[in-house]
Structure 1
Amino acid sequence: MIKEKAKKKWDLTRKMLDITDDEYNGVTQEDANLRFVKMKLQIAVYYMQLLDEHDSEYQVPWNKEQFKWALRKPVGDKKKQRAKEWCHQCRLIRDKACTSWSYEEATA
């Protein structure tokens, strides 16, 4: 999949994961937890996008309902742990797949 197509595929998900000013400036534990979850999922989506750009086969470690659940308040330790696990799983998938990716050398 070309870079633009891969980016477009994940656009809606990235928009859902944007940290609002209120969340960013929030001082409560709830705000901190939500920021943590969104940041971990942003990283996971980045890994998924890389996999798409290289036409790698993979299975997303969450489904639509689980994803929505993770972003719903209240956000506690269980959701933080799940987001952390998903991010780690996505990194492992990317690491495993990237060994077969071919990179074009830049010629100057």
Structure 2
Amino acid sequence: MELIVAVSIGALTAAGIYLMLRLRVFPVIMGLTLLSYATNVFVFASGRLAVGAPPVLMDGVEIYSDPLPQALVLTAIVISFGMTAVLVLVALGATVEGGSDKVNAPRKEAEK
């Protein structure tokens, strides 16, 4: 189970970095989203990967899942959703104003 989670974190990170290196705005936003997913899975996995274990300490139970990383990931999901929405709106505004969705494209006024 740990190997599957580690490989998925690595794949999400690699895909996120690849997309962030693109010259278009929307793949960069998708890359940031994938990186936030990878970070969320990493933080979630740091609270122990125990299937069917209770999230709190109980008498007679030796293996438990730590609830703090779960709460942090839940908060991070909400924050990353809001961040992604703001980035999409900023990218749409820059695309409409600049006429292109390239990251390093010159503005229309500079071309004239």
Larger relative contact order (C-alpha < 8 A, sep ≥ 6)?
Answer: 1
Q: Same fold (TM over 0.5)?
A: no
- After TM superposition, the score normalised by the length of structure 2 is 0.38
- After TM superposition, the score normalised by the length of structure 1 is 0.39
